Amino acid sequence: MKSSHAGLDHEEPTDEFYGPALRKAVETKQVSIAEIDDHARRILRSYFDDGVVDYPVEKRVIDVERDLDIAQQIEEGSIVLLKNERSILPLDGAHVHSIAVIGAHADVGMLSGGGSAQVDPPGGNAVDPSQGAIVFQNHTHVFFPTSPLKQLQKALPQAQVQFNTGDDRTTAAALAKHSDVAIVFVQQWQMEGMDLPTLALPDNQDALVEAVAAVNPHTIVVLETGTAALMPWAGKVEGIVEAWYSGARGATALARVLTGEVNPSGKLAMTFPLSDADLPHPTIPPLPAEDKGAGADAVNAGGNSHSSYAIHYDEGLKVGYKWYDAEHKAVLFPFGFGLSYTSFAYSGLQITPGATTAVRFTVKNTGKRAGAEVSEIYVTMPPSADEPPKRLVGYDKLMLEPGESREVTVQVDPLYLSVYDEASHAMKIVPGSYTFAVGGSSQSLPLKVEAEMPGRR
């Protein structure tokens, strides 16, 4: 009833609240027919606005290869290089003669996320669930049949690339010890409707990384996760790569990045904290009694039950990176962070207020490789706005050849400089001094300029 009054038009994916319960609310006059008509009108408006009614999707032959090419391009641009000490990456076939690939079924496939992130690949799951009871637990984890091991062997034919499952840390460490480089694959499976009890990697994967890094300082960790992960071993390895849930050609994209055929350019869309304790909500409420025992890998029954409990989001405006800024918390990797095989320099920041605010600056590729840089623009608002320390208001991605410079202009929409005024129920720009900052991540902003902004709605 409260959701209906508040304007919720449709409930997905169940009808727990908008099924019989809503019908009863209408029958008892707690929700009016006019309110239901209003919900229906907005739903139908979306149908017509998106052309679903007037221009239905035509049936056509699916160009699978084209779709796979696009998926690979997206993944190549999404992989985030988090650490690259002593330039261990990209792997150089002329100097790296033996590579140990360890863990996470990297010999046969790469992990798909669950729920809406899960796509059943052609040919089916690359991993037989009956062979992975510890990993799979209550849900079937799908692996795309795209093998990192095979793609690395293909990309580095002169190197000996061997695989170990990682199930036994002793044998995994033995292989790593006698290899020039060790690449450990780790993963965390998740889906909507299930809350991870911790950001720590499951199934003793941290211990596996520790064991390998203890015998081979030239260790690279590849993460297959859908969110941030804790990395107690981060200081003991030379390379860290976040591959996410990489899709149908994930292994091809990853191999191209690891070997330098593609220069990584992805940036983090979230903050990686140092510990669970640094999260706005480090613990989640206990499960209702009927849901206990649903599995230790995740909390909530993930669609097996619709039991609910109260969660109080009391962080206010301090969401995501704004929380860590406002609370002055150190992080493992900040929002917007991502390394490259080249380097970039920023200069010449200029701000021109107007109907939209023009932010101009120059980016130069100061390294020896061509590469793409995502430039990020943040604003610190006047104290009277009562906002967190800074907010992302724009970004741009450009490819630069070695030594190339280019001026970038980003038009910042007034909405991104506005706050909500409760008295007038409208967005407004608070008059005062705004600090614009530009750089390669939320915590690397070499350019800063103040600009006076007039108040307006």
Q: What is the pLDDT of residues 333-348, one digit of tens each?
A: 999 999 999 999 999 9
- In b/e form, how buried is each residue of 356-389, taking b as 16+ CB within 10 angstroms? bbebebbbbbebeeebbbbbbbbbbbbeebebbb
CB-based contact 403:333 (threshold 8 Å): no
The helix-helix angle for 64-78 and 250-258 (nearest 10°) equals 40
Would you say residue 101 has pLDDT above 90?
yes
Question: Could you read off the pLDDT of 423-448 as tens digits, one per residue?
Answer: 999 999 999 999 999 999 999 999 99
Structure tokens given for 208: 């596996």
Angle 322-328-332 (CA atoms, 0-180°, nearest 5)? 80
Is the pLDDT at 304 greater than 50? The verdict is no
Which comes out higher in pLDDT, residue 99 or 247? 99
Asked whether residue 87 carries a pLDDT value surpassing 70, the answer given is yes
At 288 the pLDDT is 55
Mean pLDDT over residues 173-201, rounded? 94
Total-model pTM = 0.89
Please tell me the distance from the alpha carbon of residue 201 to that of residue 184, in angstroms, as a whole number.
13
Lowest mean pLDDT across 13-27, 174-188, 399-413: 13-27
Go through the domains of the chain in sequence order and give each one's CATH number. 2-49 (no CATH), 65-258 (3.40.50.1700), 344-453 (2.60.40.10)
| Cα torsion through 60, 64, 67, 72, rounded to 10 | 180
- CA dihedral (264, 234, 389, 436) in degrees, to 10, reads -30
Q: CA-CA distances (angstroms) from residue 175 to 78, 101, 102, 147, 215?
A: 30, 9, 9, 19, 10
* % of the chain beyond a pLDDT of 70: 92
CA distance 71 to 78: 10
Which residue bears the tokens 């019908």? 23
Structure tokens given for 444: 């690397």
Q: 12 or 37: whose pLDDT is higher?
A: 37
Preceding omega of 90 cis (within 30 degrees of 0): yes
